[in-house]
Structure 1
Amino acid sequence: MQRICVIGGSRYFGKLLVKRLQTTGHQVTVINRGSTPPPAGVEHFVIDRNDEAALTAALDSRTFDVVVDQVCYTPVQAAIAARAFAGRTRRYVMTSTIEVYDPATAALPAVPAGTPVPEPIVDPAAWLVAMDLPWHDDGYLEAHYAEGKRQAEAVFVRAGGFEFASVRSAHVLGGGAQEFTGRLAHYTGRISRGGAITVHTKALPTVFIHYEELADLLLWATTAEFTGPINACSDGPLDVHDLVAIIATQAGREPVYRTVPAGEEASPFSFDRHYAMSNARAKKLGFSFSRTTDWLPGAVAEALTTEPSPTA
């Protein structure tokens, strides 16, 4: 049994992670703003993580074996957490994102199209941190989501005081109504109603992960010994046409497409640039991934079940 603190953990795969940590016998503490209470038996602090004084006071003399940070989006938040948990935890795991590799958001080393992107392409130890940017502004943060995650990783790597690992998650799907991004629902809704899916002329593949598999990987990461970033994605990249074909088959409809050139806005998961990740490092460390095409039909079925029936 370990003492594990989860920051966030109130919804989707974070909520599932808390349940699985508890089921496997760990002593769990959850820190969030109180939107959803954790399961019975889980210690819960309702705190705004941006309030360093309140966070430090609530932690008091508590120590943890591992902290799993589900909701760190900026270097400012990372710096607050690094100070608050210095000397209070042996290991710190941050949930990051595939978006750190998006070449549209930063000048990154070129990777040939079709070559899965490895972790060293974005090295947090070498990444520039700018604490004075308007990270507190919601609009700025939304527009700079990928950069916020890159800089947050960089802050933790340099902080010292604990082992640090980041889990760079692929696009997360599954869970039906739980799936708060709404991206799969976008597709099931439009295809069920015969609406057009906007795609790029040359849409490139990306990678996905089921929300339960991501919870499993984060559970594994709490007891693993690796440090630094790992990519988390199921086997088998798909492009938007592959995704739509699976959804259309489940919905019993023929897909309708509208094509736009590179650089123009398209439907979610239609990408005109390459940044599909490699999961080779996680596999080498001992985690086994499923294939996207094994779980995606079930995730689509869940989404269709929660989708209102199309009108006649």
Structure 2
Amino acid sequence: MKRICVIGGSRYFGKVLVQRLQAAGHRVTVINRGSAPPPAEVEHLVADRDDEAALTTALGSRSFDVIVDQVCYTPVQAAIAARAFSGRTRRYVMTSTIEVYDPATASLPAVPPGAPVPEETVDPATWLVRMDLPWHDAAYLQAHYAEGKRQAEAVFAQHHGFAFASVRSAHVLGGGAAEFTGRLMHYIERVTHDTQITVHAEALPTVFIHYEELVKLLEWAATLTDATGPVNACSDGPLDVYGLGTVIAAQAGRKAVYRSVAAGEPASPFSFDRHYAMSNARAKELGFSFSRTTDWLPSAVAEALAATAAPSS
């Protein structure tokens, strides 16, 4: 049994992670701003993570074996957490994103066309941190989401106050009505209404992960491995937007209708004109086993279709 603190954990796969850790017998504490209570028998600390004094006060004298940070988006947030949890934990796991590899958002080392992107492409131990940028501005943060995640990872990796691992998640799908990004629903609505889907004519493959598989990997990263550094989290089998549309159309009993645009032009979610499909080889070498995207995607789409057909209460 471990004492585990989850920062966030009030919705979508964070909530499922809390439930899974609790079911495994761990003592779980959730820190959030009080927007949603955790499950029964989970300790709940209400604090704004952006307020260092409030966070430190809420923590009191508590210490933990592991911190799982679900909602760190900027180096400023990371620096506050690094100071607040120094001396309180031996391990810190941050949920990160595939978008750290997006070549449209940073000057990154070249990867051979079609080759899965490995973790060393973005090394948080050497990445430059810029605290002077306007990270508190919501519009700036939205436009620089990938860089915020890169620099947040870098703060933790360069802190040395505890062992640090980042889980770089692929595009998360599943959960039916709880599918929180709305990106899968974008396709489902267009397929079911025979509306054109705007995609790149030469869309490149990307990678996905089911939210339950991501939860399992986060639990593994928190409790079953001492590995540090970034770990890519994606199911086996890259898929381009046309392949995704084919699965949705088959489940809906309809036909996907596309409108092609050139590289560089705006398109629907998951249509990429640049390559950054991740490699999951490191996680496998460390002992984690992944499913194949094509094994779970049809049922995830069916669940989402059922959610759209269900009458609203």
TM-score over 0.5 for the pair: yes
Asked if the contact 2:247/2:298 (under 8 Å) is kept, the reply is: yes
User: Per-residue CA shift, 1:69-92, capped at 9, x if unaligned?
Assistant: 000000000000000000000100
Asked if the contact 2:203/2:271 (under 8 Å) is kept, the reply is: yes
The equivalent residue for 1:80 is 80
Tell me the C-alpha RMSD between the 2 structures. Answer: 0.7
The equivalent residue for 2:56 is 56
Secondary structure of the residue aligned to 1:76 is helix
Give the whole-Å Cα distance in 1 for the aligned partners of 2:159 and 2:188. 43
The equivalent residue for 2:189 is 189
Identity value in percent: 78
Give the whole-Å Cα distance in 2 for the aligned partners of 1:203 and 1:11. 31
Secondary structure of the residue aligned to 1:206 is coil
Give the whole-Å Cα distance in 1 for the aligned partners of 2:197 and 2:265. 14
Counterparts of residues 37-116 of structure 1 (less than 5 Å) = 37-116=37-116
The equivalent residue for 2:261 is 260
Secondary structure of the residue aligned to 1:199 is strand
The equivalent residue for 1:283 is 284
Deviation of 1:6 after TM superposition, in Å, equals 0.1
User: Which residue identity does 2:287 align to in structure 1?
Assistant: G
The equivalent residue for 1:300 is 301
User: Which residue identity does 1:113 align to in structure 2?
Assistant: P
User: Per-residue CA shift, 1:30-55, capped at 9, x if unaligned?
Assistant: 00111211000000011110000000
Give the whole-Å Cα distance in 1 for the aligned partners of 2:298 and 2:9. 26
Aligned residues: 309
Deviation of 1:112 after TM superposition, in Å, equals 1.5
Secondary structure of the residue aligned to 2:37 is coil
Give the whole-Å Cα distance in 2 for the aligned partners of 1:300 and 1:201. 24
Secondary structure of the residue aligned to 1:187 is helix
Give the whole-Å Cα distance in 2 for the aligned partners of 1:192 and 1:113. 34
Give the whole-Å Cα distance in 2 for the aligned partners of 1:33 and 1:141. 20
Deviation of 1:151 after TM superposition, in Å, equals 0.1
Give the whole-Å Cα distance in 1 for the aligned partners of 2:91 and 2:13. 20
Deviation of 1:122 after TM superposition, in Å, equals 0.1
User: Which residue identity does 2:61 align to in structure 1?
Assistant: S
Secondary structure of the residue aligned to 1:159 is coil
User: Which residue identity does 2:267 align to in structure 1?
Assistant: A
Give the whole-Å Cα distance in 2 for the aligned partners of 1:179 and 1:158. 34
Give the whole-Å Cα distance in 2 for the aligned partners of 1:213 and 1:33. 27
Secondary structure of the residue aligned to 1:129 is coil
Counterparts of residues 19-30 of structure 1 (less than 5 Å) = 19-30=19-30
User: Which residue identity does 1:242 align to in structure 2?
Assistant: G
User: Per-residue CA shift, 1:82-130, capped at 9, x if unaligned?
Assistant: 0000000010000000000000000001111210000000001111100
Counterparts of residues 202-281 of structure 1 (less than 5 Å) = 202-223=202-223, 224-281=225-282
User: Which residue identity does 2:227 align to in structure 1?
Assistant: F
Asked if the contact 2:46/2:58 (under 8 Å) is kept, the reply is: no
Secondary structure of the residue aligned to 1:156 is helix
User: Which residue identity does 2:85 align to in structure 1?
Assistant: F
Deviation of 1:308 after TM superposition, in Å, equals 4.1
Moved more, 106-115 or 143-152: 106-115
Give the whole-Å Cα distance in 2 for the aligned partners of 1:103 and 1:28. 37
Asked whether 1:126 is paired with 2:126, we answer yes
User: Which residue identity does 2:183 align to in structure 1?
Assistant: R
Deviation of 1:295 after TM superposition, in Å, equals 0.3
The equivalent residue for 1:140 is 140
Give the whole-Å Cα distance in 2 for the aligned partners of 1:54 and 1:128. 28
Deviation of 1:160 after TM superposition, in Å, equals 1.3
Give the whole-Å Cα distance in 2 for the aligned partners of 1:108 and 1:202. 22
Give the whole-Å Cα distance in 2 for the aligned partners of 1:254 and 1:26. 47
TM-score by length of 2: 0.98
Deviation of 1:307 after TM superposition, in Å, equals 1.4
Secondary structure of the residue aligned to 2:112 is coil
User: Which residue identity does 2:273 align to in structure 1?
Assistant: D
User: Which residue identity does 1:168 align to in structure 2?
Assistant: R
The equivalent residue for 1:9 is 9
User: Which residue identity does 1:36 align to in structure 2?
Assistant: A
Give the whole-Å Cα distance in 1 for the aligned partners of 2:140 and 2:176. 30
User: Per-residue CA shift, 1:174-213, capped at 9, x if unaligned?
Assistant: 0011111011111111100001111101100000000000
Secondary structure of the residue aligned to 1:281 is helix
Give the whole-Å Cα distance in 2 for the aligned partners of 1:108 and 1:307. 40
The equivalent residue for 1:160 is 160
Moved more, 80-89 or 33-42: 33-42
